């Protein structure tokens, strides 16, 4: 039976892959734990990178899940029919297990069998890699599609731009993919109409990536001994296509949220283009914000990193919500609907509900207050501009710094007045005041595979020792709230109600250094969540009952559930120094720390 709702598609997907021997694993956090290259989890494969690179996954070699994903790179496009900043991705993986033949047969079965999607075979199109240089055309994939009954005219051979995945860095696993499309009733846009032209006749629903090469530092593609499969299907988009509706906002992922906005604003979705766009922006942004704050590693709005993206999302939603005429407090009402809608699938939303609502309320009222002042300031600014049609960098920074206008908002307001913003000037002022410039943050949204360099690994190990030392010195209430590692430093957020004293900081530092000096071996064991807990392991217990997890032990000092990777001995860290202890948000402290230079770089 064709699934009609997100829930039906979710369970159909997981059951299908379960029946093919896959272990169902839970969605990872939307905030990557040890990946400095991106702020958010952007695809189902993202949390699995260490395993795609060869680490053994405790749940086996066949995995399936539904992953919460966030992509904020195209935030300005939200409001059109298809761009979402949050979406769920259905995925399955072979870690050196099955490959092309099996995957293509299963994709065909899932798409066409009346027990699953039951799609019309003649209304499906497929793309495969056309080949380039030393890499041959993927006739293997095309051949398997045809073996299953696909007509040759429904197979399109496309370039690297369309049918190649990875590596996101300079080197690493990569390979051709084959993408699956539904052919709509829309007329071909011309004689060369194909899934590549983007005219809307072909709607992509699924992507099978075949990681069969390793790109080496000298630019060669060496076939991998252990080949992987990584597939992804966007849940919202697929349900939209299956329902035959025009936009994701007309699917069950959004109808409840849209109804709430209508109730609170007295307006109707579809009243006018501007109203429809505002409905979509409010719905999309608050859904994403709710998932960011409702995450086990949830953050609060701030001026850096994930917190900054969150602030932008909430403030943009508030601005459009006010335009729709909703009264203050509307963000919490809408978040309530979102949490109720998703709590069964993502119980963390219910667990963190109080935090989500409190943070939303705070940010909304903070922003509403400054918005009015800021808009007056903006109008003054515009009247001062005279002939110039450009808002200078310092003024844009002033709006940001004093009135909390994210630069994106200044840009939008400027555009509404036919003006532009001196972005470079703004960035210079911003960079002078912030460690991390907005330009840097944007860069990071585009990142992909993590770089598991030695330095990152060593800092990750230092994070475990720091966590353990904090608990010794401050008590067992200390709990990790977030972690972020760059090539230079580690950052660790934890629940703790007050500033640490100088003495406490010195004690923690001394403990970690003592444990580094002890140079104990670091061991890993695969076990169940329950056994790990019984052995006293700490860590985010987001795994399901009975699930197999990895537990890292560092001598008698630290025991934590974690995916790795880690140094082999604590001595590899050389030394440890806390650079900063500060407040991150209410009840959460933040430590930045560095370690000694790698003795064997």
Question: Which residues of this protein are in contact with ligand SER, per CB under 6 A?
Answer: 43-45, 91, 165, 207, 209, 230-232
Closest approach of ligand SER to the CB of residue 317, in Å:
26
Nearest distance from residue 93's CB to ligand SER, in Å?
9
Nearer to ligand SER, 230 or 509 (CB): 230
Our CB check for ligand SER shows the closer of 178 and 461 to be 178
Q: Which lies closer to ligand SER via its Cβ, residue 231 or residue 483?
A: 231
Residue 158 Cβ vs ligand SER, minimum distance, rounded to whole Å? 15
Considering beta carbons, is residue 69 or 314 the nearer one to ligand SER? 69
User: Cβ of 32: how many Cβ atoms within 10 Å?
Assistant: 24
- Closest approach of Cβ 26 to ligand SER, in Å? 17
Q: Which is nearer to ligand SER, 338 or 449 (CB)?
A: 449
CB of 36 to ligand SER, least distance (A): 20
Q: Give min distance, CB of 364 to ligand SER, in A.
A: 33
| Rounded alpha-carbon distances, angstroms, from residue 344 to 92, 333, 532 | 22, 19, 26
Whether the CB-CB separation of 85 and 145 falls below 8 Å is answered with no
Nearest CB to ligand SER, comparing residues 65 and 250: 65
In the complex, the smallest distance separating the C-beta of residue 392 from ligand SER, rounded to whole angstroms, is: 40
The least CB distance from residue 82 to ligand SER, in Å, is 15
Q: How buried is residue 505: exposed, middle or buried, by Cβ count under 10 Å (0-12/13-18/19+)? A: middle
In angstroms, what CA-CA distances link 438 with 73, 173, 379, 441?
12, 30, 24, 5
CB atoms within 10 A of CB 510: 13
Q: How far apart are CA 349 and CA 337, in angstroms?
A: 11
Min dist CB 277 to ligand SER, Å, is 27
- Identify which of 80, 108, 88 has the alpha carbon closest to the alpha carbon of residue 20: 108
* Residue nearer to ligand SER on the CB measure, 38 or 337: 38
Residue whose CB is less far from ligand SER, 445 or 576? 445
- Could you give the residue ranges of the DSSP H alpha helices within 77-150? 100-112, 139-147
Q: What is the CA radius of gyration of the chain?
A: 25
Find the angle CA(80)-CA(84)-CA(88) to the nearest 5 degrees: 145
Of residues 35, 71, 57, 184, the one with CA closest to residue 486: 35
Ramachandran angles phi, psi of 244, nearest 5°:
70, 25
Q: Please classify residue 102 by burial: count the beta carbons closer than 10 Å to its beta carbon, then call 0-12 exposed, 13-18 middle and 19+ buried.
A: middle
CB of 26 or CB of 556, closer to ligand SER: 26
Question: Whose Cβ is closer to ligand SER: residue 239's or residue 337's?
Answer: 239
Question: Is the link from the previous residue into 527 a cis peptide, with omega within 30 of 0?
Answer: no
Helical packing angle, 273-293 and 330-342, nearest 10°: 70
Cβ-based neighbours of 174, under 8 Å, separated by 6 or more: 164, 165, 166, 167, 211, 213, 214, 215, 221
* 69, 234, 367 from 85: Cα distances, Å: 8, 12, 21
Q: Quick one: angle between helices 423-433 and 438-445, nearest 10? A: 100
Closer residue to ligand SER (CB): 45 or 322: 45
Nearest alpha-carbon partner for 253 in 169, 342, 170: 342
From the CB of 165, what's the least distance to ligand SER, in Å? 6
Q: Which residue is nearest to ligand SER (CB)?
A: 232
Task: Classify 420 as helix, strand or coil.
Answer: strand
């Amino acid at each position: 039976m064709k699934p009609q709702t997100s829930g039906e598609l979710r369970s159909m997907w997981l059951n299908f892959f379960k029946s093919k021997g896959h272990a169902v694993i839970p969605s990872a956090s939307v905030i990557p734990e040890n990946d400095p290259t991106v702020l958010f989890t952007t695809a189902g494969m993202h949390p699995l990178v260490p395993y795609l690179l060869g680490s053994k996954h405790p749940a086996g070699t066949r995995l399936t899940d539904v992953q919460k994903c966030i992509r904020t790179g195209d935030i300005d496009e939200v409001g059109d029919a298809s761009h979402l900043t949050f979406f769920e991705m259905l995925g399955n993986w072979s870690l050196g297990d099955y490959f092309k033949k099996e995957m293509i047969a299963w994709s065909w079965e899932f798409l066409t069998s009346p027990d699953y999607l039951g799609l019309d075979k003649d209304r499906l199109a497929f793309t495969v890699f056309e080949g380039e240089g030393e890499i041959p055309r993927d006739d293997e994939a095309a051949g398997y599609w045809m073996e299953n009954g696909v007509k040759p005219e429904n197979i399109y051979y496309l370039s690297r731009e369309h049918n190649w995945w990875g590596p996101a860095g300079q080197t690493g696993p990569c390979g051709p993919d084959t993408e699956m499309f539904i052919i709509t009733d829309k007329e071909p846009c011309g004689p060369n109409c194909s899934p590549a032209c983007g005219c809307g006749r072909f709607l992509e629903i699924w992507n099978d990536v075949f990681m069969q090469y390793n790109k080496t530092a000298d630019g060669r593609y060496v076939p991998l001994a252990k080949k992987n499969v990584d597939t992804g299907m966007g849940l919202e988009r697929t349900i939209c296509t299956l329902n035959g509706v025009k936009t994701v906002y007309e699917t069950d992922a959004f109808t409840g949220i849209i109804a709430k906005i209508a109730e609170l604003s007295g307006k109707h979705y579809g009243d006018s283009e501007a109203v429809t766009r505002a409905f979509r922006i409010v719905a999309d942004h608050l859904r994403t914000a709710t998932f960011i704050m409702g995450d086990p590693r949830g953050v609060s709005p701030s001026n850096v990193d994930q917190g900054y993206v969150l602030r932008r999302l909430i403030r943009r939603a508030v601005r459009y919500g006010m335009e729709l005429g909703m009264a203050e407090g509307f963000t919490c009402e809408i978040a309530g609907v979102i949490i109720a809608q998703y709590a069964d699938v993502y119980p963390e939303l219910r667990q963190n509900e109080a935090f989500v609502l409190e943070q939303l309320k705070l940010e909304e009222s903070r922003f509403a207050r400054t918005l009015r002042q800021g808009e007056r300031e903006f109008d003054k600014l515009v009247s001062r501009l005279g002939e110039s049609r450009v808002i200078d960098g310092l003024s844009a920074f002033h709006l940001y710094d004093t009135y909390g206008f994210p630069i994106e908002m200044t840009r939008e307001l400027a555009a509404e007045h036919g003006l532009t913003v001196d972005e470079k000037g703004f960035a210079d002022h911003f960079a002078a005041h912030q460690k991390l410039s907005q330009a840097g943050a944007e860069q990071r949204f585009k990142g992909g595979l993590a770089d598991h360099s030695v330095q990152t690994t060593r800092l990750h190990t230092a994070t475990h020792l720091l966590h353990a030392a904090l608990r010794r010195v401050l008590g067992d209430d200390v709990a990790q709230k977030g972690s972020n590692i760059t090539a230079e430093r580690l950052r660790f957020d934890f629940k703790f109600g007050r500033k640490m004293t100088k003495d406490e900081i010195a004690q923690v530092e001394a403990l970690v250094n003592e444990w580094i000096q002890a140079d104990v071996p670091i061991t890993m064991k695969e076990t169940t969540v329950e056994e790990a807990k019984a052995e006293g392991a700490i860590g985010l217990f987001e795994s399901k009952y009975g699930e197999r997890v990895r537990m890292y032990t560092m001598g008698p000092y630290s025991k934590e559930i974690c995916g790795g990777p880690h140094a082999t001995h604590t001595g590899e860290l050389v030394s440890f120094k806390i650079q900063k202890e500060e407040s991150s948000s209410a009840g959460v402290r933040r430590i930045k720390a560095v370690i000694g230079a790698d003795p064997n770089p």
